[in-house]
Chain A
Amino acid sequence: MRIESIHIDGFGVWNDKTWGPIGPGLNVFHGPNETGKSTFMAFIRSMFFGFEKRGTAKRYEPLKGGTHGGHLDLLVGDTRLRVERKPGRHVRGAVTVYAGEATGDETALERLLCGTTKTLYHNVFAFGLEELEQFHTLQESEIATHISGAGLGVGASRWASVQKDLEERQAALFLPRGQNSTINVAFKQLEAVRDDLDRTEHQPQDYLTAHETRMRLAAELSTLEETVAEVSRRIQHYAKRANNRPYMERRNKIEGWLKQLPQVDSFPEGGVERLDLLQKQRQALLDEGMKKDREAEVLRLRRMQVRADSEECGRRGQIIESLRSLLPRVDAAGRVYVAGIERRDAIMQERRALVTGLVNIMPPSSLAFGLFIALIWIGVAGLNVAGHEYIGGGLGTISVVAMIWYRDRLKCAAAQKKQIQECSDRLDTCEKELRRTENEAREIETEIRRLTGKNEITQADIDQRAAELDRLLKINDDARLLDEGAARCEGDLVRIAQQITEIDKTVASLLAEGNASNEREFLERAEIYKQRRQLRNELDKIPIETAEPGLLFEDMRADEDAAFQAAQTELAELERRLLEVRHETGRVEERIAMMEKSEERSRALSRQETILARIDEAAEQWAVITLCRALLDETRKVYETERQPEVLRQASSFYNVMTEGRYTRVIAPLDGGEIQVERTDGVRLAPQVLSRGTAEQLYLSMRLALVREYANHVDPLPIVFDDIFVNFDPDRSRTSLKAVHDLCATHQVLMFTCHPHLVKQVEEIIPEAKIFSLE
């Protein structure tokens, strides 16, 4: 690329100024100080890379009118282009690249410059004394990178700043022994979290242990509960036994007594009473028997004194009895007879009346009348027979009357007859009765005669006879009574004997029942039985303990109180432990619940993940930066071993020309040490020991070499020198110009100077150079 013409519209002191055509080789612009040489170079720089920042001197705002900027006409290959820069939105201004009809922007310009950076251009292609001397002012260790940077197309400061920038960024992220870098801080945080995790590491173990403890406690608890129940049972047993002890003792005593007493397990019910009763009965019977004996004796004696004829008495009694029975019969027969008579009389009278009446009423038939009369007459006859002639007579009268009445009353004759008949019948009956009574009276009379020999009996007689009989009877009775009493006594005695025998039998059976051979034994046994029964009753009344196997050892009794006491102590201890275990279980469960809820560890784990993620991210950045640094470092090494010799070869060549062979080589050691020059005598010197002019020649050689090296890869760019020869003596200027001349074969060079001798030298050494005056 080369510049064909330059037009400045407005830039510093310059206004609407055009230079051209500019030659392909060396072009010298000269003028005294303050004509605007540096401004001119700044214009070219600005056209390619933009205006400098506002407010800085190097921006060169137009001082004499015109629009800030201008244009360059360029020839790139075979193409003519114009690069125009005007003020724009951006501080660097607005650039337009005109290629025929087409226009382009900043990008097009960047392409034209093949990525050459501003720094590179300012350091290697367009520089003044200030930049030239920067080689010297840089840190010694950075010289190598400066050279590399120049070769790279990066200004020394750029290269250094990239290194520095990367180093800073790397350090900000991580330093192997750092404290405050992001990753180091994160590691510290991680450590803290890990401490937390370490601290809580045993928490899960604690949890599992707590689980085990809970299980163990549960087992212990159930064992304790069982033991407590067991001991409680024992205590209850002991307590019961203690309560029951008097009973037991009594019981045992009773049982002992029972054992001592003869075995009398059965005895007749009420045996003693029964025996007693039987004995009393027998005694009574014996007493009675003795009394009866005596009584019988008395009776026998008395009977012997009494004589009695019971037959006489009986006979007499019979007579009296008969008499007595006859007497009323006599009276009765007399009375009956009298009454019969009277009745016959009445009937006959009535018959007579009737007959009379009949006679009076109707004349009775002769037969009837006759009969009637006959009857009357029978009656009369009867009466007469019987001695009752009057009655007969009356009766005859009555029959006459009746016959009269019959006659009188004819019509009533039949009734009258009937009545008469009836009366006759009654009369007959009466007659018969009378006869019977007479018979009876005769019988009675006979009887009496037979009995008394008399016809008549009187009451007194009877009474006399009766009194006699009574006396006889009395004697008889006495005798009989005595006999009877004796017999009775005999009977009684027999009965008593029988009863006694029976009682004896009963007693014998009672004894047999009582398993006794005699009554004394019986009573003894009865007593024993009674005692045993009483004892048994008492025994029955004593509450009996239910048998508890294993606890009823007799030998326990001695230690029972002690055991009771011990059991109570044990129970208290067990209950205390039980309570303790329950509390402990509660505590463990609470702890388990707490631990289950605890999020401390999981939070720490989360925090750890967060930090690790942060570390990951930062580490990635660090890795990229570190790799970048490593790559750059490696690139530098590559450059130093492969690329540098070419640059240094070029530099040596230029330097050789400039120093007229006094220095043969420029060397950049690979160990990163400073650049050195080798004299013809082989001595190597550091730039510091060189004279200023010689050193600046070295720097110039380096730049020219870099420019040439750079041109191997990209289209050569125009070179601008701003009065860089000022520190050179005329010889040095000439030799330097020779070197520049060499470069002009490939590059367009624009050189600004204020020294007329330099212009002369140029005209001398490079006749084809174009000279422009800036005045």
Chain B
Amino acid sequence: SPFRGSVSASAALKERLQSATLAALRRVVDHTITSRADFLIIAGDIYDSKDRNLRALVSFRNEMERLAERNIRAFIVHGNHDPLNGWGSGFQLPPNVVTFGGHADTEPFIRRGREAARITGVSYMRERVTDNLASSLKPDGAAPYSIAVLHANVGHQSGHADYAPATVAELSAAGFDYWALGHVHTTSVLAVEPAVIVYPGNTQGRNPRETGPRGCYQVNVDTHGRAHLEFIDTSIARWTHLEISIANMTSIGQLVDCMLQRARSAAGSFNGPTVARCTIRGNGVVHRDLQRDQMSEELAEVLSSTVIVESIRIATGPGLDFASLARTETMVSDFLNLADRALEDPELRQRFADCLAPLFRRKELPVVDDARLREWIERASALGADLLLDI
């Protein structure tokens, strides 16, 4: 899927960012080839069926063909974004690619005439799979090393649809040596004993929330069957979120210095374009200066010398003592108390969420989850207090 984010950058850089996800796949394949890996496992959501993006499919096929040229096999399953009944699943891939079907299946991996591993996997028949697919995967005791490939939400992680739900305990007990998981975009090693359970995450951060290194795992299995994981950063561009508080700042210069320093440190840790979202929070005297028109644009310009700026979000409050203000029993206090109540009372919060419906009921927009709602209410409360008390 394409890279999300509206950044102001040169056309070439924009182009590069827009094709970053494809380029990241190329890096994965490059690494597969240069590391002389035996095979590559991709645990679903290779493309988005809804996009019907031919270029993505063709690129994927081309990459698989590069593996085929070197006799490297690939084992893939389909996930919720590229289910078997979705567009593109019938696309012809080279014969080195083993695609697992909608029912659990096992493929041996033969190296120099000897079976080295057995890979078991299952694909999504349709987009919404709420059954526990993990339970359908059974290892073969005779396999020298058994790998399960699954696209699932393990451990009910929030922020991702709860498809093919399973628990870490369940996976650990299943008897596989290695669980190659897909679905969750963030890199995480859920367990190492008795089974290695890994979400390598996505290969390229696609939106401002997908920050930090993104890539794949190179897994070396030694003769004792121990897996050694090595994370390979394949991202072309790295997202970073600079969250800066103005709480103890007295001037805008201080804020700019702090932003630049944070941006430099973020950019310095990655060899490639760093795309930054900057959120300025906290209450302080700088708040008033930040209310000026075009302020975020000016700050973005300053920051763009160091990183690619996705956006500057100003969510600061005035340098007021909200706690004592809340105690004043004025309308400001009523306002602040109401906001506090809304943060505590889900029912009340829901009532406020309803007023967002005119915009957020549109399908183009994501469903408002509670965390965001709370964040917005906090920001609304700061904004309201600020406006009401502004002189």
Contact = CB atoms under 8 A, between A and B. Distances in A.
Nearest to A187: B364
Contact of A628 (B18, B51, B383, B390): B383
Contacts of B2: 602, 605-606, 608-609
B328 A624 contact: no
B325 interface: yes
A639 B334 CA distance: 7
Contacts of A208: 90-91
B391 to A, nearest CB: 5
Interface string B310-339: 110101000111000101111111110011
Interface string B349-391: 0001001101110101110100010001101110110011111
A190 interface: yes
B380 A628 contact: yes
Nearest to B58: A596
B329 A712 contact: yes
B6 A625 contact: no
Given A613-B6, A627-B352, A601 B360 contact: no
B330 A713 contact: yes
A406 interface: no
Contact of A624 (B311, B362, B376): B376
A97 to B, nearest CB: 17
A209 to B, nearest CB: 12
Interface string A582-617: 000000000000011011011101101111111111
B4 interface: yes
Contact of A152 (B285, B379, B388): B388
Contacts of A321: none
A402 to B, nearest CB: 147
A219 to B, nearest CB: 16
> What range describes how many residues of A lie at the interface?
35 or more
B57 interface: yes
Nearest to A610: B6
Contacts of A119: 391
Interface in B1-39: 1-6, 18-19
Nearest to A630: B355
B70 interface: no
Given A49-B391, A635-B335, A201 B359 contact: no
A550 interface: no
Contacts of B91: 208
A598 B54 contact: yes
Interface string A618-648: 0110111111111110111011001100000
Contact of B331 (A151, A200, A603, A611): A151
Nearest to A614: B6
A402 B183 CA distance: 180
A627 B387 contact: no
Interface residues of B, number: 67
B92 interface: yes
B261 interface: no
Contacts of A602: 2, 18-19, 53-56
Nearest to B54: A204
A206 to B, nearest CB: 9
B112 to A, nearest CB: 36
A628 B384 contact: yes
Given A606-B18, A713-B328, A158 B388 contact: yes
B88 interface: yes
A616 B365 contact: yes
Interface of A is mostly: helix
Given A166-B387, A628-B383, A154 B331 contact: yes
A205 B311 CA distance: 37
A635 B334 contact: yes
B10 to A, nearest CB: 15
Contacts of B53: 204, 601-602, 605
B280 to A, nearest CB: 14
Contacts of B391: 49, 117-119
Contacts of B390: 117, 158, 162
Interface in A172-218: 174, 176, 183, 187, 190, 197, 200-201, 203-205, 207-208, 211
B304 interface: no
Nearest to A621: B313
B207 interface: yes
Nearest to B349: A627
A165 B311 contact: no
Contact of A635 (B51, B52, B338, B389): B338
B109 interface: no
A149 interface: yes
Nearest to B381: A631
B4 A613 contact: yes
A66 to B, nearest CB: 27
Contact of A632 (B311, B335, B372): B335
Contacts of A712: 329
B87 interface: yes
Given A151-B331, A154-B331, 8 more contacts: A118-B391, A176-B359, A207-B54, A610-B5, A613-B5, A631-B384, A638-B334, A714-B328
Q: Would you list the 8 A-B pairs with minimal beta carbon distance, nearest first?
A: A152-B331, A627-B380, A628-B380, A602-B55, A606-B18, A609-B4, A635-B335, A713-B328
